[in-house]
Structure 1
């Protein structure tokens, strides 16, 4: 018996020892597992938890005193930005307008050059101009104010998740209160898990025979969404609980709640999941989260329980019922008054269409933005960290360009076999900012971008470069210089013979230089280019900002050079800007999600062509729209001065037009992807697009400073000699007067007596 007891004691000792060892091993394994989970959590939670799309903003509307802009144009901008019209503006994003007076609560916004706070602004108009601007917040008059830029789209990455990050201090206080009240009222008291809540939910579910109540805390929900799968098992639940405790121990309640507000799934937008209250606020109410009111907050919190079941666009009755339940909870918790509660119960859902957040808008322009971002942000992870990208996009110019190209090509397509395609680029002359890019007849097409990638011969659009090269040598050339217009035959570098002809197959013997430009005559242009030297003409094209391979053959002078519409627009930007080259660009600044400036566009310009010579060229391009190949433009806009040049390639494969008013230069290409004959010229194919674009807006008349040394001179149309004013058959045009000889004869051919300048002065003038 004693032996048995001893043996049993020994076995118990062995078992106890083994059990202790197992406990120790289990504890070590558990500790190791906890350390592993902690490292995993720390790596994700402390770094970039999510891939957040880059937010792309258009240009901000800047309102200046004396600016020529109508109240309706400003009201359209406010509507675009999601401002709400009210009787008395009191909160961010509200405005009132009557009888030429606008009062607006301009939203706070962090611009690239610094933050601007919420400001109450009053703007008064007089005769379609802003008369004065008052900053009511500071109680003083100001010269200008800018509205926050419109959020155009987001560059969503490969992941199917979409979100806009918010912080607790950027949302109404009622949002976290409502969220914790409904989803986890003990949030600030537990340590990641709430055993009593789990037990309470277990009992309720057992009684009901199905899942009717959840016991997970907000922290557990966050763990499940960030780290775990949807698998329903005890092991996953245990892991969830452990990770929730770790997160609660390592991070503050503020950090956890903020992460939850950015992670929670609230809707499905096509193939993208809408995560977080920041994006959901725009998606459902078209405004930033800080402007959400109590019923809207209750609506979004109501959806957490089942985003599909409580989809307010599909099942508004369900959402209103649950929203009102949440409003009752707020009332019972003394978060809202009885009066407010009664008012909120009757509030409509007032949902936005969600169209303002549709991604994939304006794909041609966004491709240019992406290309620039690839150079600006070399690290791809930065592009998915919620950066804010400020661009030069003018959304009105973009929409008008899309409409003009699509509708015009639709009209021109009738009775044509070859499918017409097109592209258009609009840029700001002085800054080089690209205002609009249309890459296809179907403006929403996100494939081949003809504006950036289609290289086509530009035809007569090259001619201004030829004439500018000549005008930069004022001792040899001016607008009246005679150019030969006779049959010629030239040999190319490959030995082939070439005989250029004018469009009408006629020859004029000789024409003034300005006539060759205005009427786009081929033979005089070729003669001029050959006399200047093809290398000089090619250098001028490059000076104007076009980096492309140019084959220096005689046909180059008539546009046997391939360029994209974007490159061509760059060339005409320099021409229209008095010879000042500014690189075309779409991105002006990039900021991090936390509003730190990462990159800013450096202002740069270079005087690439003589200003006086460029003025003379632009005078000729103005004449093109009044008397030349683009005279239809002058007929449609008789009171607005514009300038431009048509371009047509051999066999009518491509039709071009580049034109400009005071502020913007636009380039239009019309053709066929298979390079088929479209039987359209620049005047009949591309110019109508430009005209229809201008019809959709109010073009501003050209006004250019008259450069020093220029004046109106008078020339014989046939010989190009300087003559006295008023002679028959004379040509009066701007000219660089310092290099002109005095007239040698009067209108009758008699010699003009040349008086010494000093002899014409009095003794008093000579003395001083």
Structure 2
């Protein structure tokens, strides 16, 4: 029995084993079917996600591109500041785009490829000479002459903070050294495995066992990409299983180049508040303020090292740890023959070289960006600006913005130290504009320029003090039959009682009345009494209308004190008002926005400047002339200690009651700038416009290029010499006086001492016409524009007068020849006319001799003075004054 049982037992074991094998086979088949189905499911998820995936990108903002032109005014330091903003490097080898070199004053620049709103411009080289602050000899790399050459535009940040942010790059734009370094550090079998690397897993296990803790992971680059796209970072076996399956599927559908490109764009490399920094493209700008293709090997090593743990190796918070990690990556690069031993030693000795945290802000120009958002809002929704990846092209000039920021920050601190003001109590704002286009070149809303708080340039409404006075004088100059620059006005006490019993009694800064003064001097010396009387004579409503035509849309109080600055405007609004004056009366709408393109760089919308003629050019020019005298002899004259005297700056100081606000607004032929200084609590600063804001304004203007030479008057303006009584001094009969511009419609009383004795007028009328009428006729060669020196005008008028005398003599000779004559007989004149003709000839010759002697002495005097100014009698100026209004 026992043996039978043993035989049955032996017979049953193979049967049970086979049944188990069948069961296992069925289970394996079922598992394979389930796994296959699951992989099909994962495959569908993977392909749908990757094929339809679009990055949600905030709008990227670009500065205006610098356009180099022959004849363009440009200083070397400004040009090189533009290169710095573009992160161009000076390199004598000149080996790749993004570099510049200089030999003496000869420059060569290699522009990067860039997509402008009007199309892509490829990388290209240009050479030019910068001599006497002017660009010349502009040529391309083949030597062909160019009229202009546009550089690429600097990326100055993104709009709307928070969320994921990245700057995707294409595979062709990835530096080879970055790709090879990533493979060497993260996945050395990347080019050979199928998504999962058993050898890499084994290598990581050995390294971890030797270290006694986890020092190396076994995930491939493909697995890390899957994890970044589909999963969170919580460790689990199920997640690792799914990573492996999806990595295999990804390798089946996509090539290695695409996988590496997506990993480079997807890896997390830092955090800035609620803003997450993804991808090497954005990380390059975030940490180094450079495009990815310009990074040095040590920079690439730092970014690759951050992929292991951006928070742990943060170069700002943990610089020593970050430096150690970077040098470890450099060693791995050398082991893979990506660096030579000499290069390894050199790059490991370099500092981290990261930008400051403030420079790496998502929005480094908060004041400018706030205005930009206002202009974008009517056309694009919040969601479009946050996710559509728009490319926004602006007017900001990085070099002008930088010097404005430095001038405001350093100027406020210096004033506090020099004048004993409480530290950090002063605040400031400035706006810098391009006159002809209305482009906002720079805007600073806080003495800490990168602080995204209260924007005083746009939001701080403060009383403007004497900045309103040009509008009063412009209103008068628009009435040429009643007012000119030398019309006498009264600077005398004034008392006005309001309906509520309040009494308004303004006074001058020096507490004195100056009696009757010429109109222009009331503006130059900023006399309150003269301005108030003039404004009341003109009418408050008329002055308000002038402000409207100058571009000011804010509410203005219709009270007498408005004439002296009791109106609240922002620095941005003031800049628009003064830019209209600088433009000769043409009001160009201020703008920060130029164009918007979609994520691919295709142009979507272009925004052109809008303008209208607010003021006639003739009174605008007369006002400008008076404002130039403010800078030469008035409250703004201290600026010329640091500014070139050959540039016709014009401007106005402003100081409000109890020294609460210090203002200066002024312009050159090309640029307008406005500066405000004050305290947020509106307390006393002890600064006037001249002792505060003017200093910062001068520092800004000192560093900008400007056109030299006087401004040419428009048609309808002529310069005439007048005496102290405002009477016309005809240069044909007397010397001296002061030369002023006048409207052709203005009638001047001739000075009695300059009328001269003209006994032979009938003779000149008969032979040469009425000289006075000829001189009074409009000269057709006078055309609107800039750049003609009034001194040159005086010399031209002198040449014209001599030419007229010569023409009169020629006509006289011609007429003598036309008198009927008998051959071989002498000319016979009526009795007595022979002696009269000879006397006339003698007097004409004497007049020519006197005029020639006068011209010679005048030329000698000008040469001795080293200038071309006409001879003038010295004119005394009243004592200097400030322009506080009570």
Scaled to the shorter chain, the TM-score interval is 0.7 to 0.9
Map of 1:407 onto structure 2: 410
- Written as runs of structure 1 = structure 2, the 5 A alignment for 1:331-350 is 331=337, 341=340, 344-349=343-348, 350=350
Map of 2:693 onto structure 1: 686
Relative to structure 2, which stretch is displaced further, 255-264 or 351-360? 351-360
* Shift of residue 627, structure 1, vs aligned partner: 1.7
- Structure 2: which 5+ residue stretches go unaligned? 1-18, 775-807, 816-886
Indicate the SS of the match to 1:314.
Answer: helix
Map of 1:5 onto structure 2: none
1:606 equivalent among 602, 609, 612: 612
Distance 1:520 1:727 in 2: 32
Indicate the SS of the match to 2:553.
Answer: coil
Distance 2:347 2:704 in 1: 37
Relative to structure 2, which stretch is displaced further, 396-405 or 638-647? 396-405
1:58 aligns with 2:63: yes
Map of 1:512 onto structure 2: 518
2:175 equivalent among 167, 172, 188: 172
| Change over 3 Å in CA distance of 1:683–1:142 after alignment to 2 | same
Indicate conservation of the 8 Å contact 1:55/1:154, yes or no: yes
Aligned pair count reads: 735
Map of 2:146 onto structure 1: 142
Map of 1:133 onto structure 2: 138
Distance 2:699 2:297 in 1: 46
Indicate the SS of the match to 2:552.
Answer: coil
Map of 2:441 onto structure 1: 435
Indicate conservation of the 8 Å contact 2:75/2:705, yes or no: no
* Shift of residue 535, structure 1, vs aligned partner: 1.9
* Shift of residue 123, structure 1, vs aligned partner: 2.8
* Shift of residue 647, structure 1, vs aligned partner: 1.3
1:240 equivalent among 240, 243, 249: 243
1:501 aligns with 2:503: no
Distance 2:534 2:89 in 1: 61
Map of 2:355 onto structure 1: 354
Distance 2:547 2:232 in 1: 60
- Written as runs of structure 1 = structure 2, the 5 A alignment for 1:540-619 is 540-619=546-625
- Structure 1: which 5+ residue stretches go unaligned? 1-11
Indicate conservation of the 8 Å contact 2:197/2:220, yes or no: no
Indicate conservation of the 8 Å contact 2:650/2:666, yes or no: yes
* Shift of residue 709, structure 1, vs aligned partner: 1.8
Map of 2:466 onto structure 1: 460
User: What TM-score results when the alignment is normalised by the length of structure 1?
Assistant: 0.83
Map of 1:112 onto structure 2: 117
Distance 1:285 1:449 in 2: 27
Map of 1:395 onto structure 2: 398
Distance 2:382 2:46 in 1: 23
Q: Once the two structures are superposed, what CA deviation does each residue of 1:498-522 show, in whole Å capped at 9, x if it has no partner?
A: 2333333333343222122212122
Indicate conservation of the 8 Å contact 2:429/2:676, yes or no: yes
Distance 1:325 1:278 in 2: 22
Indicate conservation of the 8 Å contact 2:73/2:705, yes or no: no
Distance 1:411 1:230 in 2: 51
Distance 1:703 1:130 in 2: 21
1:92 aligns with 2:97: yes
Map of 1:194 onto structure 2: 196
Superposition RMSD in Å = 4.1
Map of 1:8 onto structure 2: none
Indicate conservation of the 8 Å contact 1:187/1:217, yes or no: yes
Map of 1:662 onto structure 2: 669
Indicate conservation of the 8 Å contact 1:122/1:135, yes or no: yes
| Change over 3 Å in CA distance of 1:246–1:493 after alignment to 2 | farther
Map of 2:223 onto structure 1: 220
Q: Which has the larger Rg?
A: 2
Distance 2:542 2:313 in 1: 70
Indicate the SS of the match to 1:348.
Answer: helix
Relative to structure 2, which stretch is displaced further, 489-498 or 108-117? 489-498
| Change over 3 Å in CA distance of 1:503–1:292 after alignment to 2 | closer
Map of 1:152 onto structure 2: 156
Indicate the SS of the match to 1:149.
Answer: coil
* Shift of residue 473, structure 1, vs aligned partner: 2.5
| Change over 3 Å in CA distance of 1:637–1:258 after alignment to 2 | closer
1:78 aligns with 2:80: no
Distance 1:216 1:470 in 2: 81
Indicate the SS of the match to 2:68.
Answer: strand
| Change over 3 Å in CA distance of 1:630–1:321 after alignment to 2 | closer
| Change over 3 Å in CA distance of 1:197–1:607 after alignment to 2 | farther
Map of 1:288 onto structure 2: 291
User: What TM-score results when the alignment is normalised by the length of structure 2?
Assistant: 0.73
* Shift of residue 198, structure 1, vs aligned partner: 7.9
Distance 1:493 1:43 in 2: 75
